[in-house]
Structure 1
Amino acid sequence: MKDKCFVLIGFICACVSAYAQPATTLLYKNSFDTPASLADWKMEGPGVAKVEGGRLLIHSKWADDLERLDGQIDLLKDGGGKYYPFIEQWVKEREPESLPKYVLDFHKPGQFSGGHIQFWNKHAHPENFLIRLKFQAANPYPLHMVTFCGRGVNGEDVLDPKLAPRFGLAAQYMYGDIQNYRISYWAGSRGTSNMRRAPGRQLTAEEKGDVPRIALKREVQLEIFRWNGHVVFRCDGEKLVDWIDDEPFGDGFFALRLMASAKGWYDDYEVYELNEDPFAYAGKGENITSRLSAQRDVPQPKDVIDGKFIVVGNPEPEGKLYRDVINTYKGNPVYRFEASPKVNRVELTTCYASNLEGFSERELSDLSELANLYLKNDQGHYGDTITYEWNARFPEPLKEDAKGIFAQWHGRPDRTLVITPEGERKILPTAEYIALRKSMKVTDEHIGIDPKTDKPNGWKFDGSAGGPIAAFKFQDGHMCLLVRNDPNARSDNTVRIKPKPVVRREQAKGNKTGACIFEKPIAEVPIDKWINFKVQIKYSKYSLDHDVPLESGFVKVWMDGEPVVDWTGDIGKNDEKGPYFKYGIYKPGADGFMVDCAGFTQTFE
């Protein structure tokens, strides 16, 4: 899920209070959702850059040919000397007119050294900055690099046509007429992250440690901090480079650099100006004031948090949310939720209005009226097996009588489901459903009333979602996990299932069921320590025509890698659309509480 944003943000951040300067100011972001996002970048060298699956895929045009040489030469070894003869031969055979571009006259004159690429962002970054971007390797071969503070040696824009032409050759960036810092990673058998300063190719840092090999399987978060010459490079929160330049460069330009055999995906490039020393920062982060209805509002790009969430719930001062990109957890922004007793909720939800292209204004208005604008957001279906993973921390001691939900899975009712006077179950088109509802009165029990006779007319409508399908919460002196099952296609919101730890671990009313499948005394919950939650749910399968589960489900839970739940039973709701995940605070007790959350993944089996 993406925020479809590649904009220069500028000085004002709409979510931050005007009277307080934040520690970070977002200046630019690019989430590589469409080919148009590449207009902000300039390729030097024989590069391929394209948007694929909502990410930037980048590599040299020679990378595929070099991959076919694996086994013939050691591609994992750092340096291009082993494959330059092959690229030189290919250039002579396929594009001989390009051969002069790959040979320099000022550094190792006459020697072929081409095939590498440099991809510049056209917007300058400030002197003190934080740059964040996601990386996933598309092959195991080195090197990947980031270049920053790039300018001509006399302060020119790095893309100034007065500077000498460049075609991706290393010496053009290390010994030419531009100044820059460069950090290399994904270094193959070298196994280090190196930092250099140019001109001069001065090796300033050679750290034992590199981007981990897990980057072949999933994205990792890269972070570059720079404050008054102090540079720190991190991957998933782990420090790989830490160096201080006593004569630092000023602001400049950022680039991705890849050697000829390397290939990778990049995403969510963000540039922040730092207004405080990040290495001494102890604040909470940016104050997020946006609040929306997931069911009734269409979010703007600025309302979508990290391409995954929108904020739902009470505004300040009762409900507060902060986003910290300085003191992250494993590279993930830390979200601090704070709730007073007056708060109903302040949460980040993964499900909101999206994928609405092609809907007319009237159709969007009708969907909003029905609280159903999120109907096209794909969160899976009942019968699916989905694994959710996130991290939570409780920064302050919890009282024995603490109450409230800090993570939940919520259903999406079939808003237009009806039972006709003849007993037929139907899901109506939105406009037809609205017209039908307006033709009669409807009771709190969702029974149609003839406006002329004031008596039931035989029409019945679906009830509310009836509470979370599953929830981690504090209740009765415990942290617990509750699950629910409602196999009725037409929900009855007057029947509530409320299992409890210890005293009522299972409950049934009619064919609705619920269970408390995990409980831990509040006194044993770690304080100010991160807890990793991994929850695998196979949702029960249902049918519109049957008010019983067709297939049972299961729930498995790991906390910090330790299995704590392995439960089998019915979980879910008889609706067409699958449930969605939220974390934060919902219905806190008399004292409220706070929770930090970081990271979120949702994997379909």
Structure 2
Amino acid sequence: MKKSFLFVTAAHFLLCTVAAGQQQKTVPLMPRVNIQADSAGKKDIIDQQWVAVGINRPYSIQHDYSLLFRGKPSYRFELKTSDNALQGYAKGSTKGRAELSYCYATSDNFKDLPGSDYEHARKMKTVYHHGKGITPQGASMRYTFSVFISSSLPENISAIFAQWHGMPSRRLASTPEGQVKMLSVDEFLSLYDRMIFKKNIAHDKITKKNKGGRVTYKAGKPNGWLIEQGGYPPLAFGFSKGYFYIKANSDRKWLTDKTDRCNADPSKTPVMQPVTSRYKASTILYKEPFSDFPKDKWVTFNVDVDWTVYGKETSAIIKPGKIDISMRYTGKEKRIHRHLVDHKEVFIGRNDEDGYYFKFGIYRVGNSTVPVVYNLAGYKETPR
């Protein structure tokens, strides 16, 4: 009896150990932060440099111990068919997001400021402007990151896996008479109390009371005010319409025209031939068929950027940008280095007061619901 009991106990222990090992292959990273409107707490910060944004399913963003990068767990990202939780650019379309943001603010960033500044920043959606991970306007930077794409990933996905975003200020506004100006904090807060903003369009705030006396608000008609909201990412790496592509966008207008959808199509636009409008330019820096992109191995990108210098309220370009991009990976037991973009002059950036910040993960666009899974790791950014 004793031997049998010992055998069962040992077997049970072995099974538990195996099960625990299997559970540890991936560990969900669940906290999410609205970086524009909230600061990050200690429990929200991942590996002392990231916060997670987007949908918060257990599988969406995970530490992956089964696929290490330089001895550390990589980040596994996944969006399933039903995970599009955001309204797309086109009416009736959807998009999905599960990303890590390198830029965020904490309470320490506000500790030496007046007590009201944090609440004001929340209303202006500029909390992250006070934090880490910001590339200043016109800076020269070097960025490095790595991606692992499985050969099982469908080639018809439509997703951005790395992107640099602008940092618009909602204090930049256009009056009903069409005058564009940078509002003071008090001027913006006065609008905030009287209006509801839907993207860049202001609506009159209508007060309602229910039978219990509870006050709620709803948006009335647009009142002619517009506020800065941003636009396409100035730099993006992704997959679309059977292509891997790298795209640079530029917007020199002081207040972004959201009706101008200047955006190069990777499947139609030739490399280094910008699609332009009066104020915007969109350039496919590089593209290749999805089938040619290296699979089942770590691919590391090195990106050197001189961000374009803009003229603020003049809506002018003071100095064009420049970009150099290379990729390296191991193929057939040898190191492969490919120079994708060779120090090309390009318009890249936005005419914002503040600069740019990096995110990687899955940003599924174009109304696509094709399931997406891949891993990312190894991000670094340094001034040049």
Listed as ranges, the matches of 1:191-270 within 5 Å are none
Sequence identity, in percent?
Answer: 28
Contact 1:445 1:494 in 2 (8 A): no
Amino acid at match of 2:26: G
In structure 2, relative to structure 1, the CA distance for the partners of 1:300 and 1:423 (3 Å cut) is same
How far apart, in 2, do the equivalents of 1:489 and 1:594 lie? 37
Contact 1:487 1:511 in 2 (8 A): yes
Q: Which of 578, 581, 584 pairs up with 2:358?
A: 581
In structure 2, relative to structure 1, the CA distance for the partners of 1:370 and 1:450 (3 Å cut) is closer
- Could you say which residue in structure 2 is the equivalent of 1:304? 45
Cα-to-partner distance string for 1:560-599 (whole Å, 9 max, x where unaligned): 1421112311110000111111000011633221111111
Contact 2:171 2:228 in 1 (8 A): no
Amino acid at match of 2:371: G
In structure 2, relative to structure 1, the CA distance for the partners of 1:418 and 1:484 (3 Å cut) is same
Contact 1:347 1:584 in 2 (8 A): yes
Amino acid at match of 1:430: V
3-state SS in 1 of match to 2:190: helix
How far apart, in 2, do the equivalents of 1:543 and 1:367 lie? 25
In structure 2, relative to structure 1, the CA distance for the partners of 1:489 and 1:584 (3 Å cut) is same
Shift of 1:367: 1.4
- Could you say which residue in structure 2 is the equivalent of 1:515? 283
Q: Which of 555, 558, 563 pairs up with 2:339?
A: 563
3-state SS in 2 of match to 1:545: helix
Q: Which of 67, 73, 92 pairs up with 1:333?
A: 73
How far apart, in 2, do the equivalents of 1:320 and 1:445 lie? 29
How far apart, in 1, do the equivalents of 2:23 and 2:205 lie? 62
How far apart, in 2, do the equivalents of 1:444 and 1:328 lie? 40
Contact 2:202 2:227 in 1 (8 A): no
In structure 2, relative to structure 1, the CA distance for the partners of 1:482 and 1:536 (3 Å cut) is same
- Could you say which residue in structure 2 is the equivalent of 1:132? none
Q: Does 1:323 align with 2:57?
A: no
Q: Which of 106, 119, 136 pairs up with 1:381?
A: 136
TM-score, structure 2 as length reference: 0.76
Q: Does 1:349 align with 2:349?
A: no
3-state SS in 2 of match to 1:550: strand
Shift of 1:420: 5.8
Cα-to-partner distance string for 1:523-581 (whole Å, 9 max, x where unaligned): 11222200001111111011222112111001211101421112311110000111111
Cα-to-partner distance string for 1:111-131 (whole Å, 9 max, x where unaligned): xxxxxxxxxxxxxxxxxxxxx
How far apart, in 1, do the equivalents of 2:33 and 2:199 lie? 26
In structure 2, relative to structure 1, the CA distance for the partners of 1:501 and 1:360 (3 Å cut) is same
In structure 2, relative to structure 1, the CA distance for the partners of 1:305 and 1:420 (3 Å cut) is same
Listed as ranges, the matches of 1:98-137 within 5 Å are none
- Could you say which residue in structure 2 is the equivalent of 1:213? none
How far apart, in 1, do the equivalents of 2:233 and 2:221 lie? 33
How far apart, in 2, do the equivalents of 1:441 and 1:339 lie? 31
3-state SS in 1 of match to 2:153: coil
- Could you say which residue in structure 2 is the equivalent of 1:540? 308
Amino acid at match of 2:319: E
Cα-to-partner distance string for 1:36-71 (whole Å, 9 max, x where unaligned): xxxxxxxxxxxxxxxxxxxxxxxxxxxxxxxxxxxx
Q: Which of 116, 128, 132 pairs up with 1:362?
A: 116
- Could you say which residue in structure 1 is the equivalent of 2:211? none
In structure 2, relative to structure 1, the CA distance for the partners of 1:594 and 1:484 (3 Å cut) is same
Shift of 1:422: 8.5
Of 359-368 and 579-588, more deviation after overlay is shown by: 359-368
Listed as ranges, the matches of 1:290-301 within 5 Å are 290-301=31-42
Q: Does 1:395 align with 2:147?
A: no
Amino acid at match of 1:371: K
In structure 2, relative to structure 1, the CA distance for the partners of 1:442 and 1:321 (3 Å cut) is closer
In structure 2, relative to structure 1, the CA distance for the partners of 1:562 and 1:283 (3 Å cut) is farther
How far apart, in 1, do the equivalents of 2:254 and 2:279 lie? 12
Shift of 1:419: 4.5
- Could you say which residue in structure 1 is the equivalent of 2:12? none
Listed as ranges, the matches of 1:459-538 within 5 Å are 460-505=225-270, 506-538=274-306
- Could you say which residue in structure 1 is the equivalent of 2:91? none
- Could you say which residue in structure 1 is the equivalent of 2:317? 549
> What's the C-alpha RMSD, in Å, of the aligned pairs?
3.0
Amino acid at match of 1:511: Y
- Could you say which residue in structure 1 is the equivalent of 2:377? 598
How far apart, in 2, do the equivalents of 1:363 and 1:376 lie? 10
Shift of 1:387: 0.9
Contact 2:76 2:373 in 1 (8 A): yes
Shift of 1:281: 7.0
How far apart, in 1, do the equivalents of 2:280 and 2:56 lie? 34
In structure 2, relative to structure 1, the CA distance for the partners of 1:456 and 1:324 (3 Å cut) is closer
Shift of 1:493: 1.6
Listed as ranges, the matches of 1:397-412 within 5 Å are 397-412=152-167
- Could you say which residue in structure 2 is the equivalent of 1:313? 54
Contact 1:534 1:557 in 2 (8 A): yes
Listed as ranges, the matches of 1:408-487 within 5 Å are 408-419=163-174, 426-439=181-194, 446=201, 460-487=225-252
Contact 2:156 2:370 in 1 (8 A): no
3-state SS in 2 of match to 1:374: helix
Amino acid at match of 1:591: V
Shift of 1:430: 2.8
Contact 2:262 2:277 in 1 (8 A): yes
User: More helix by proportion, 1 or 2?
Assistant: 2
Shift of 1:507: 1.5
Shift of 1:515: 1.0
Length, aligned pairs only: 326
- Could you say which residue in structure 1 is the equivalent of 2:26? 285
How far apart, in 1, do the equivalents of 2:325 and 2:376 lie? 17
Relative contact order, higher structure (CA 8 A, sep 6+): 2
How far apart, in 1, do the equivalents of 2:304 and 2:283 lie? 16
How far apart, in 1, do the equivalents of 2:228 and 2:71 lie? 42
How far apart, in 1, do the equivalents of 2:265 and 2:315 lie? 25
Amino acid at match of 1:308: Q
Contact 1:418 1:460 in 2 (8 A): yes
Amino acid at match of 1:575: D
Shift of 1:336: 0.7
